Structure 1
Amino acid sequence: MNILDGKALSQKIKEEVKLETQKLQAEKNITPGLAVILVGNDPASAAYVGMKSKACKDAGIYSIVHEMPETISQESILEILSMMNKNPNIDGILVQLPLPKHIDTTAILEAIDPKKDVDGFHAYNVGRMTSGLDAFVPATPYGVMELLKEYNIDPQGKDVCVVGASDIVGKPMGTLLLNANATVTTCHIYTKDLKAHTSKADIICVGAGVVNLIKEDMVKEGAIVVDIGINRLDNGKLVGDVDFENVAPKCSYITPVPGGVGPMTIAMLLKNTIKAAKMRESREK
């Protein structure tokens, strides 16, 4: 059993981003800029935004967080987005999800300039990704693909089971694996017999937010298990969606939680921001 170490790889990527930032500043006088919209006071969202801001600072990326009250109107958010779309010093815009129930999330995401959509949630980027064209790819699935690549795991020809079908993780994860010529099965809350699908898979990618959803008898010997879930137990401990202790001995590779996919998400967001900064000249034409 080998560990897919996302923490180590994310550090490597962050160092690469830092060097690219310095190069952009030296050669083009461009400091990459990332703007984040944070609505409400959800502790998990606030903590995550704080981690993003610190990572930006460490990489030399200019970062600004627009904190807004839970009661803010949709029109007010759209006004700020419009302002950031027009700001030449802002290369990437992301809206921290979830948004309050009175806000139409789709309308907000669609209001972001696709060339600044570093989260990869705009329909323009989703469509291009699905077509196998160059696009901003959602950071978490992007991070999983980079992790597989780092450990020379080629999805081509593999049977892959993606557990979870969210727009943020499951759907783009399945799309990227399909683009890599894997045979992909997507399972979700309405799947009748989850074990029937996972037990045949060479690679399992799970991001359903259910503690111990994937158990030992659901995984075949030598499988590769990527745990994208993150759950906090009553005792404060962070765990994924996989019963790690019992599943790990059967695996050829497995991601830990924490230290697996989580750190990769922020690293790939930084990578997307650099990509957007490199596009700044084309945006300004």
Structure 2
Amino acid sequence: MKDIIENEIKRFLSENEENKFFADTPLVGYADVKDPLFTKYKEIIGDFHLTPEEFFRTSYPGEDLTEGTVISWILPIKESVRDTNRTQDLMPSKEWAHGRNFGEQFNKSLREHMQEFLRDKGYKTISPMLSEKWERIKSDSVGYASSWSERHGAYACGLGTFGLSDGFITEKGIAHRCGSVVTELKLEPNTRGYESPYENCLFHSQDKCGACMKKCPAGAITKDGHDKDICHDYIREQVMAAVNEKYGVKMPGCGLCQVGVPCEKKAPVH
């Protein structure tokens, strides 16, 4: 069944016009919905971060998710897009801005598709990001957050670890988008091949690098980590208006810390 799922994700990427210039071959991982890490996230992130079972019940009230799987995917950003952003120092390139905006629209379409694909096969399924219970939150303890983190879902599924910039470093690097679904279909979970949540980051694991600090035009990344407030304000107050006027993109992101760094296209510690 894993082959069927992964081939369907690849087919959707290759045939969907929304993805024409955005994502390369995906990575796919699996975690048991009962993995205690999902409950642990309520301590690490906050009580507002919901478990797979809590999201499942929003679409299937009164039904318990006795077994099942979180399926997470990574959509690596194409090298041609990364190349254009690597030359920038203050604002994202046109290609990156469009990739951030339309790439996430495509990712939403993929969530919808995989949700329906598994339902059509007879398995109750919900994508947390499509749920009415998904929301953005400003937490006193962790800053900007949400009731489901795609990156933390991917971590649980064995797809990578975090970096100094808060980005998620996979075997195909840090420049990507993440998505997931929760399904009652029982599949063998991935083995997490790491012991530390920062194992793929050279700064944390080997006390060297810190290239993302130099790449950040807002100064939001330091040896102490990623200041979400500074990053958020720079994007909202400087990047969004300029990029919207120049490229007609309302949600461009920045992504300068994800290119021209050792973890751009691989996990550099391996």
Max Rg structure: 1
Q: TM-score, normalised by structure 1?
A: 0.25
Q: TM-score, normalised by structure 2?
A: 0.26
